[in-house]
Amino acid sequence: MNSRSIWVLAITFLVALLMMILPMPEWARPFRPQWVTLTLIYWCIALPHRVGVGTGFTLGILLDVLTGTLLGQHALGLSLVAFLSVQLHARIRVFPFWQQALAVLVLLVVEHLFALWVMGAIDQTPPGLIYWVVPLIGAVLWPWVFVTLRDVRRRFKIT
Amino acid sequence: MLAVALSLVLMVLDHRFAHLHQLRTTLSVATYPLQILAELPVTASQWLQEITTTRSELVSNNEALRAQNLKLSAELQKFESLQAENIRLRNLLDASYKVGDRVLIAELSAVDLDPYKQQVVISKGSTSGVYEGQAVLDADAVMGQVIQVTPFSSTVLLITDPSHSIPVQVLRSGLRTIAVGSGRVNELNLPYLPTNSDIREGDLLVTSGLGGKFPSGYPVARVTRIDRAPNNAFAEISAEPAAHLDRSREVLVVWSVTPAPTIAEEAPEPVAEADDSGDESPAEDSP
């Protein structure tokens, strides 16, 4: 992996972080998809020997600072998601799109579940059922994220 | 596993202690460019709106502002005489008078934070003298307090966050209590008032100044619903914040100018006495 691929990877992650804090209308705020998680899952599946738990942890800390949550809340979820995707990468890679989306849904739910546990542990008011719509939106978006990032990877020949 | 343990430790440290403030501030400065980038569409559209306003719009706007200015300065005349009178009366009573409040106008950043926490980012930081715990107002009422400061921006916890409480006073009856955030942007709860307390729907709640974080006398909320169940010791009261928490674009950061505390001058005296009589009465501890 040369320095140019590292830059491309960093830029995709930065764009994902940006999408997490981009201003949205008030009604749409609870429905914001987990862009960072989706991007992380893709790179973990595509380059399991390069991207892993460390990347997930760093991204999580940055996300915590950006969104003002407890330092470590996203880091915990993203590290676990990175670990699971690296473990399952060989299986998820060969799935057809819809089956991939299901696997991704499970990973997204895992991340959300851990965030919910943290919220519960620090006595923050737990969000309503709308909270669980977000992973569904993420799973629906997965094919597009996958195709876009795959094209990026082929275009810049990142291996 | 190491990452999991590390994030758990980080969370505990962040939640229980203040050790990580420095780390968070440093990281916030590092991610500040991202915030600016995220704001860019909003700032660009505002700029575009500004340069494309027509002349007639500007003229009508100007007229409206002129009228408002006239009205406000007329009210201010009355206010000045009242303030002078207030100072005179307080001098008669020998009560200390707060000299006044200094404010700084800050712009609300358009960046979205965690949707399940009531926080906003404002565009002024420690380079402008903003400090942690400072009160933040909008044009109508109290909005919240600063909880984190970086050199160029700071995070404000709104009064409606469940972890936020603000000491208030009912303007009509002078009743003091505490308003706790509900987690919804348009509701505050008043859980500590007995069922028979003197409070009505529509009462205005103002800051009481107790606790020292918020300057006294600023409007906070209006009581919207009172539920006096006879079998409960406390009434269930909710109030609607008077500030436009979800709509304001500009906010005011307040410094209260307080006279030097008189308690500090009195404090050394008992110590001196205790030193003098220290040999005779060892049981009496100096405060």
pLDDT of residue B148: 85
The 10s digit of each residue's pLDDT in B185-196 is 888 999 999 888
The 10s digit of each residue's pLDDT in A18-61 is 888 888 877 888 888 999 999 999 999 998 888 888 889 889 98
| Residue B233 placed within a domain | yes
Count CA within 13 A, CB hemisphere, residue B223.
25
- pLDDT category at B275 given cuts 50, 70, 90 is very low
End-to-end CA gap in chain B:
51
Cβ contact B10–A72 (<8 Å): yes
B113 touches chain A (CB under 8 A): yes
Residue with the larger pLDDT of the pair B69 and B4: B69
- Give chain B as a 3 state SS string: CHHHHHHHHHHHHHHHCCCCHHHHHHHHHHCHHHHHHHHHHHHHHHHHHHHCCCHHHHHHHHHHHHHHHHHHHHHHHHHHHHHHHHHHHHHHHCCCCCCEEEEEEEEECCCCCCCCCCEEEECCCHHHCCCCCCEEECCCCEEEEEEEECCCCEEEEECCCCCCEEEEEECCCCCEEEEEECCCCCCEECCCCECCCCCCCCCEEEECCCCCCCCCCCEEEEEEEEECCCCCCECEEEEEECCCCCCCCEEEEEEEECCCCCHHHHCHHHHHHHHHCCCCCCCCCCC
| Residue B99 placed within a domain | no
Cβ contact A66–B10 (<8 Å): no
- Is the sign of the CA dihedral A99, A103, A104, A108 positive or negative? positive
Cβ contact B38–A23 (<8 Å): yes
The b-or-e profile of B188-222 (16+ CB within 10 A means b, else e) is: bbbeebeeebebeeebbbbbbbeeeebbeebbbbb
Contacts of A57 in chain B (CB under 8 A): 3, 6-7
ipTM of the prediction: 0.72
Closest partner residue to A73 (CB to CB) among B4, B6, B11 is: B11
Closest partner residue to B24 (CB to CB) among A17, A67, A71 is: A71
Closest partner residue to A67 (CB to CB) among B41, B114, B162 is: B114
B111 touches chain A (CB under 8 A): yes
The one-character DSSP state at A150 is H
pLDDT of residue B97: 55
pLDDT of residue B240: 92
| Residue B159 placed within a domain | no
The nearest alpha carbon in chain B to A31 belongs to B115
Cβ contact B31–A24 (<8 Å): no
Of A126-130, A140-144, B78-82, least confident by mean pLDDT is A126-130
The nearest alpha carbon in chain A to B5 belongs to A76
Cβ contact B7–A127 (<8 Å): no
Closest partner residue to B14 (CB to CB) among A72, A83, A124 is: A72
The nearest alpha carbon in chain A to B19 belongs to A71
- Stretch 91-110 of chain B: residues touching chain A, C-beta under 8 Å: 110
Smallest CA–CA distance, residue A12 to chain B, in Å, is 13
Cβ contact B28–A65 (<8 Å): yes
Interface size A-B, in CB pairs within 8 Å, comes to 108
For A33, the token pair is: 């998809």
| Residue B76 placed within a domain | no
Q: In what order do the strands lie in the sheet with B154-158?
A: B100-107, B250-257, B135-137, B142-149, B154-158, B119-122
| Residue B122 placed within a domain | no
CB A37 within 8 A of CB A78: yes
pLDDT of residue B119: 86
| Residue B277 pLDDT greater than 60, yes or no | no
Q: Which long-range contacts (CB under 8 A, 24 or more apart) does B239-242 make?
A: B239/B179, B239/B187, B239/B188, B239/B189, B239/B190, B239/B205, B240/B186, B240/B187, B240/B188, B241/B141, B241/B142, B241/B159, B241/B160, B241/B185, B241/B186, B241/B187, B241/B188, B242/B140, B242/B141, B242/B142, B242/B204
| Residue B191 placed within a domain | yes
Smallest CA–CA distance, residue B115 to chain A, in Å, is 6
* A-interface mutation test, from B11, B46, B120, B121, most A Cβ less than 10 A away: B11
The 10s digit of each residue's pLDDT in B207-234 is 988 888 888 888 899 999 998 888 888 9
| Residue B99 pLDDT greater than 80, yes or no | no
Domain boundary among B245, B265, B280: B245
CA pair distance A14, A35, nearest whole angstrom: 10
B17 touches chain A (CB under 8 A): no
- Stretch 168-187 of chain B: residues touching chain A, C-beta under 8 Å: 183
- pLDDT category at B269 given cuts 50, 70, 90 is very low
Closest partner residue to A75 (CB to CB) among B7, B113, B119 is: B7
- pTM for the full model? 0.74
CA pair distance B136, B269, nearest whole angstrom: 38
CA pair distance A91, B154, nearest whole angstrom: 45
Give A128's contacts (C-beta < 8 A, 6+ positions apart): none
In chain A, domain spans? 3-20+32-155
Q: What is the tally of structural domains in chain B?
A: 2
Domain limits for position B186: 165-245
Closest partner residue to A119 (CB to CB) among B27, B116, B119 is: B116
Cβ contact B116–A124 (<8 Å): yes
Smallest CA–CA distance, residue B36 to chain A, in Å, is 10
